[in-house]
Amino acid sequence: MIQLENLTKSFGRQTLFEDIGFQINPRERIGLVGRNGHGKTTLLRLIIGEETPDAGSVIIPKHCRLGYVRQTIAFTESTVLDEGAKELPRSEKDHHWKVEKILAGLGFSPADMARNPHEFSGGYQVRLNLAKVLVSEPDLLMLDEPTNYLDIASIRWVERFLQTWPREVLLVTHDRGFMDAVVTHTLGIHRKKVRKIPGNTEKYYAQIAQEEEIYEKTRLKDERRRKDIERFISRFRAKARLANLVQSRIKTLSKMEKQDRLEQIKDLDFSFRSKPFEGRHVLTARDVSFGYTPGAPVIKRFSLSVGRRERICVVGKNGRGKTTLLRLLAGALAPESGDVTYNPQVAAGFFEQTNIQTLDPSHTVEEEIILAHPDVDRQLARNISGAMMFEGNDALKRISVLSGGEKSRVMLGKLLATPVNVLFLDEPTNHLDLESCDALLAAIDYFDGVVIMVTHNEMFLHALAERLVIFQKGGIQVFDDGYGSFLETIGWEDEPRGPKVSKPEKQAPLTGPPKLSKKALRRMRSELVTERSRILKPIGNEIQETEDAIDSRERELDALNRAMQSATRVGDSTKIADLGQAIHQYQTEIDTLFDKLEVLTTDLDIRKKEFDERLSQIDGDNSE
């Protein structure tokens, strides 16, 4: 059990929290919420010892192991698999299958696992850091915005992984759906204090709102009563016959504690400027193809027709071409073949994460927003700056001093300044907190135009998507329905669609025996040992068979991968296609076998423990 007692932390004149305390109990999965800049990451750094509190203490049990995903890269092994295996517990150094399962869940292919870690992009290198922490099986797993560098398939895998995590988790994420699916408790930093409640974010925010409403009603009631007492004292102070009553009121007034009005907390609150659109048809993409290297198209013969006020979400794994497609549709890239045509009335706005590089470091926030559109004056720029939480003099901050998240808000502000009827949005929720994501969701829903958006946020997908553009199985598919319907009818390729291996129901614990003779106890023990062997041996045999099946398929998969390398060298496209199908089938079978192995080993551990407890109880009775 980890405890934080009377903790205070400030940076300069800004106090993040003061005199706070809470504890993390066994098997709790805690979601840490609070607005950007209110101290969530700082609190994690205090727990791991990378920051020092101004006052108070963090009490961590002696043998408690902390797992924290680093953004810094420090790899020493020659392959991804070997780098991940470094963090296996000492007793499991040969359990490479655990590393493979976690790496596969995070989007690494079998071929990737044999590559050097330094060959990968920064996002995949941070995924490898995440895999190393998961493999190490820490007592407290701390995750700070893990969904920022994961695609939707990996996010769904991590969600399922954390739901069965047997120890403690402390999670920070802007993805409310992901957090609510994982946590058992919510811990919020609010008004420089913390509050921990059982339940999800919806319950937490409802409780905070209710408490603040009660506080304000009580404060106003007490203020009215104070004024009534002050009027009574002022009116009757000079009347001798009422002196006792006046003195009583004076004593009552001195005991009344004055409650301060709650400071108004600024929410991100905005709406997009809509430009009228009278037509029915917005844009058409016909047989669009594009690639960054000759002969290797990222987008191949893609077609899409978009009508007015449609909500289309582009989804799939990272690196498949989602942003490329969005840039092609937005006109930021020209297709190699095919064409994208627009209705003459179209006025498009494009939000892209990399666009923050277009901001001029010498400009202020206000100046950047004024330059977004010719009809934006200083007052409108100030209003939009305030909506993006750059109030007052904050609107005069230079771009050069802003964080990445603040720059993203400036880009969003520039988009708000521009009247548009089509929005192209590339992962707009990154760098926003939960409250800001809620405001963005409402603004998109209210927008009277077309929205085409790349996102991994399943709450946005469920709430907004009317059609989907799906990158999977090596191609692009247009699905003319919502995200829930997609999950029910098609689903993600890496999630098994066949018969699931269900966990066996937990056996009712064996009850203690009545007081019996030593002879009866010995007989009972002998029968229990026999029963133990009868039940556990078949499970052990099945575990061995499953491990053998995994080994066999992995050998076959290695052979297929070698054949794929040969076929790639000679450019045999037919053989490459056939081998790709076979490799995918084998990987799916291996994943299913790993799931089965996990269920079987869990069941074996549970049953062993029950038999051991029963035998121990019999041995104790026998020794009396």
Higher-confidence residue: 263 or 157? 157
Mean pLDDT of the chain, nearest integer: 86
Distance, in Å, from the CA atom of 326 to the CA atom of 323, rounded to the nearest integer, reads: 5
The predicted pLDDT at position 482 comes to 94
Read off the pLDDT of residues 493-532 as tens digits, 9 standing for 90 and up.
877 554 443 433 433 333 333 445 556 666 767 777 777 7
342 has a pLDDT exceeding 90? yes
Token pair for 156 = 């769904």
The predicted pLDDT at position 502 comes to 40
**Minimum mean pLDDT range among 166-170, 315-319, 362-366, 583-587:** 583-587
The predicted pLDDT at position 420 comes to 95
Report, as an integer, the average pLDDT of 252-279: 80
The predicted pLDDT at position 70 comes to 77
The predicted pLDDT at position 167 comes to 93
Domain ranges, ordered by start, for the chain: 2-205, 206-255, 366-418, 518-623
**Minimum mean pLDDT range among 191-205, 405-419, 586-600:** 586-600
Please choose, from the candidates 135, 41, 154, 64, the residue with its C-alpha nearest in 3D space to the C-alpha of residue 97: 135
Read off the pLDDT of residues 560-603 as tens digits, 9 standing for 90 and up.
888 888 877 777 778 877 887 788 788 778 767 766 776 777 77
480 has a pLDDT exceeding 90? yes
> Residue 29, CB half-sphere, CA atoms under 13 Å: how many?
19
Task: Report whether 77 contacts 83 (CB < 8 A).
Answer: yes
**Minimum mean pLDDT range among 262-271, 387-396, 516-525, 563-572:** 516-525
Helices (H), 106-197: 110-113, 122-136, 152-163, 176-182
Percent of the chain with pLDDT over 70: 92
55 has a pLDDT exceeding 90? yes
The predicted pLDDT at position 325 comes to 96
Please choose, from the candidates 206, 271, 204, the residue with its C-alpha nearest in 3D space to the C-alpha of residue 442: 271
Instruction: Tell the burial category of 595 from Cβ atoms under 10 Å away from its Cβ (0-12, 13-18, 19+).
Output: middle
174 has a pLDDT exceeding 60? yes
Token pair for 530 = 């026999």
83 has a pLDDT exceeding 90? yes
Report, as an integer, the average pLDDT of 311-333: 93
Report, as an integer, the average pLDDT of 343-350: 95
In which element (H, E) is residue 315 found?
strand 311-316
Percent of the chain with pLDDT over 90: 47
Report, as an integer, the average pLDDT of 338-366: 90
**Minimum mean pLDDT range among 90-94, 129-133, 603-607, 619-623:** 619-623
Task: Report whether 135 contacts 99 (CB < 8 A).
Answer: yes
The predicted pLDDT at position 508 comes to 38
The predicted pLDDT at position 513 comes to 36
Please tell me the class of the 2-205 domain: alpha beta
Strand order in the sheet with 66-68: 66-68, 140-144, 168-172, 29-33, 185-190, 193-198
The predicted pLDDT at position 499 comes to 40
The predicted pLDDT at position 177 comes to 92
How sure is the predictor about 622, in pLDDT bands with cuts at 50, 70 and 90?
A: low
The predicted pLDDT at position 517 comes to 58
Q: Sign of dihedral through CA atoms 89, 91, 94, 96?
A: negative
What is the 8-class DSSP label of residue 298?
S
How sure is the predictor about 621, in pLDDT bands with cuts at 50, 70 and 90?
A: low
35 has a pLDDT exceeding 80? yes
Distance, in Å, from the CA atom of 462 to the CA atom of 459, rounded to the nearest integer, reads: 5
> Residue 571, CB half-sphere, CA atoms under 13 Å: how many?
2
Higher-confidence residue: 624 or 466? 466
Q: Decide yes or no: CATH 1.10.287 for domain 518-623.
A: yes
The predicted pLDDT at position 355 comes to 74
Read off the pLDDT of residues 436-459 as tens digits, 9 standing for 90 and up.
888 889 889 999 999 999 999 999
Token pair for 159 = 């969600």
The predicted pLDDT at position 90 comes to 82
Report, as an integer, the average pLDDT of 545-568: 82
Read off the pLDDT of residues 210-241 as tens digits, 9 standing for 90 and up.
888 888 888 888 888 888 888 888 877 877 76
The predicted pLDDT at position 103 comes to 93
The predicted pLDDT at position 519 comes to 62
Backbone phi and psi for residue 192, each to the nearest 5 degrees, phi listed first: 65, 15
How sure is the predictor about 368, in pLDDT bands with cuts at 50, 70 and 90?
A: very high
Instruction: Write out 351-391 in H/E/C secondary structure.
Output: ECHHHHHHCCCCCEHHHHHHCCCCCCCHHHHHHHHHHCCCC
